[in-house]
Amino acid sequence: MYFLYTIIASLAVFFILKWLKKRRYCTDLRRLDGKTILITGGNSGIGKETAIALAMRGARVIIACRDSDKAEKAVREIKLKSHSLNVLYMELDLANLSSVRDFCKSFLQREKKLDILVNNAGMPGVLEWTDNNFSMCFGVNHLGHFLLTNLLLPRLKECAPSRVITLTCSSYKYQKLDFQDLNYNQLPFFTYCRSKLANIYFSQEVARITEGKGVTSYAVHPGKRSFVQSGWTCHYSILFRMLVQVIMWMFFVPCEIGAQTVIYCAVSDEAAKHSGGYFIDCRPATLRPFARDAAVAKKLWEASERLVNLA
Ligand SMILES: NC(=O)c1ccc[n+]([C@@H]2O[C@H](COP(=O)([O-])OP(=O)(O)OC[C@H]3O[C@@H](n4cnc5c(N)ncnc54)[C@H](OP(=O)(O)O)[C@@H]3O)[C@@H](O)[C@H]2O)c1
């Protein structure tokens, strides 16, 4: 009898893992020759896999990274794997608003085109502060990208039809924004959830203000039912990393799969019909009603303008 139970339990575990890790690829094979794509944090994880896939399709890919050693190494790997020499990196630290401004200045001087902006870089839940005294998650994940996108928006409009893709997370649903304390920095996971909810409102507002101007905007959760085996654990202790490594190996999908919905939003005509939408697993997904509140999105946009001194 025990033998039978063991077999049933093993089969159940097998099918649950198979369901969790089911892979879905972007089946739109459109090429991106002549397009310029900027990916923040493209030196690791999902960003690096996105860079490889888009460079393979012929795009000029620029990864914007804070660490030059990591970035140079990633550029070599992206070139090698994509068989493209049209890959480069530029320095950008999203935790420092002066760095974001400097980056945009030199980007706009050097690059005449920007067809797709991928707001990928992200910090997991950590209780740290940026150089401008914002909580790390809110500052990097939301405010840094908010300023970056605003400063690059004129170039995106010039290059219309163009796209803004912002990486969010399905864990947005566990928190709501508190406008009295946008910098909430108390529980690491919740500070992350709030920054990812801010990414969703941000993406919706980009779609609203650029409507009819040829720019479309997408918020992407890169996993599916599960999460992605990326480098985010490097911000935690060795013990935590070892524990999570086992869970990641068992339940999470590889970065190559995590990048598929980003690639889909970069190339698909179908996606373009859903500007302002939320995407999982290469298709539009439904948000909780509170995350679709246009008034909150507008309020966050205006608050963010004040916080980054965007006149
Ligand atoms: N992994 C998942 O399961 C999952 C699920 C949902 C959403 N996401 C989202 O997917 C995106 C990519 O994450 P990932 O999983 O690929 O994690 P990752 O491997 O840790 O990559 C994060 C990237 O962001 C960069 N970054 C962090 N702080 C930065 C800063 N101040 N300035 C510039 N770049 C900075 C990192 O650079 P360094 O190497 O220098 O640190 C790294 O390149 C994130 O927005 C994340 O929230 C991931």
The C-alpha atoms of residue 213 and residue 218 are separated, in whole angstroms, by 15
Interhelix angle 97-110/145-158, rounded to 10 degrees, is 20
Q: Is residue 3 part of a domain?
A: no
The C-alpha atoms of residue 175 and residue 130 are separated, in whole angstroms, by 22
Taking a C-beta distance cutoff of 8 angstroms, is the pair 17, 250 a contact? yes
The C-alpha atoms of residue 176 and residue 190 are separated, in whole angstroms, by 9
- Report the CATH number that the domain containing residue 61 is assigned in CATH: 3.40.50.720
Select which of 89, 192, 218, 278 is catalytic.
Answer: 192
Q: Is residue 115 part of a domain?
A: yes
Pairing of strands 60-65, 36-40: parallel
Q: Is residue 131 part of a domain?
A: yes
**For a substitution probing ligand 1, which of 72, 228, 261 has the most ligand atoms within 8 Å of its CB?**
228
Q: Is the pLDDT of residue 225 over 70?
A: no
Q: How far is the CA of 236 from the centre of ligand 1 (A)?
A: 14
Q: Is residue 23 part of a domain?
A: no
Taking a C-beta distance cutoff of 8 angstroms, is the pair 24, 266 a contact? no
Range of the domain at 112: 33-307
Active-site residue, 192 included: yes
Rounded to 10 degrees, the C-alpha dihedral 244/250/256/258 comes to: -70
> Which range (37-51, 56-70, 241-255, 288-302) has the least confidence?
241-255
Question: pLDDT tens digit string along 239-253?
Answer: 888 888 888 888 888
Q: Is residue 177 part of a domain?
A: yes
- Residues lining ligand 1, CB < 6 A? 40-41, 43-47, 65-67, 70, 92-95, 120-123, 140, 167, 169, 221-223, 227-228, 230-232
Taking a C-beta distance cutoff of 8 angstroms, is the pair 191, 233 a contact? no
Query: In the prediction, which pLDDT does 18 show?
Result: 65
Mean pLDDT of the 197-202 span: 98
DSSP string, 231-298: SGGGGS-HHHHHHHHHHHHHHPBPHHHHTHHHHHHHH-HHHHTTTTEEEETTEEEPPPGGGG-HHHHH
The C-alpha atoms of residue 152 and residue 30 are separated, in whole angstroms, by 25
Q: Is residue 15 part of a domain?
A: no
In this structure, the residue with its CA closest to atom 6 of ligand 1 is 169
Q: Is residue 19 part of a domain?
A: no
Query: In the prediction, which pLDDT does 19 show?
Result: 65
Q: Of 216, 225, 265, nearest to 26 (Cα)?
A: 265
Taking a C-beta distance cutoff of 8 angstroms, is the pair 86, 35 a contact? no
Mean pLDDT of the 90-105 span: 98
Q: Number of folded domains in the chain? A: 1
